Structure 1
């Protein structure tokens, strides 16, 4: 019985987006482990307080993530 733990910064994802994460992570796991384990695949979403998540030596906030989401995707070469 797999347990997948997903950690996100609080306030970044809506309840609907978190449900989508749960569904898609479950789909990904069952594509590997087999459909018979779908009903016993657990996905837990933990929200980390804004600023308590660090990258590159500095705390990352909800606002930082929202700014990244709005950033245009770089064109591939």
Structure 2
């Protein structure tokens, strides 16, 4: 049983977007492994508290993630 675990910073993705993540990642695995894997493929989307993860030695916040999507510099 495949398990795909996706961790996202809280407040970045809507529930609809998270549903799309589940659907799209499941489809990707089915393309690779075959239709029989659909019913046993788990996709878990976990919200991670803003600032509790980091990149490059700096905490990553919801605002940091949303800035590039909005076309503004992070920081």
| TM-score of the alignment, normalized to the shorter chain, above 0.5 | yes
Q: Distance in 1 between matches of 2:63 and 2:23?
A: 26
Over 3 Å off, 4+ runs: none
Q: CA deviation at 1:58?
A: 0.4
CA deviation map 1:24-69 (0-9, x unaligned): 0000011101111101100001111000110111001001111011
Given the alignment of the two structures, is residue 28 of structure 1 paired with residue 41 of structure 2, yes or no? no
What aligned pairs does 1:1-77 form with structure 2 within 5 A after superposition? Answer: 1-71=1-71
CA RMSD of aligned residues (A): 1.1
Structure 1 unmatched ranges of 5 or more: 73-77
Could you state the TM-score of these two structures normalised by the residue count of structure 1? 0.89
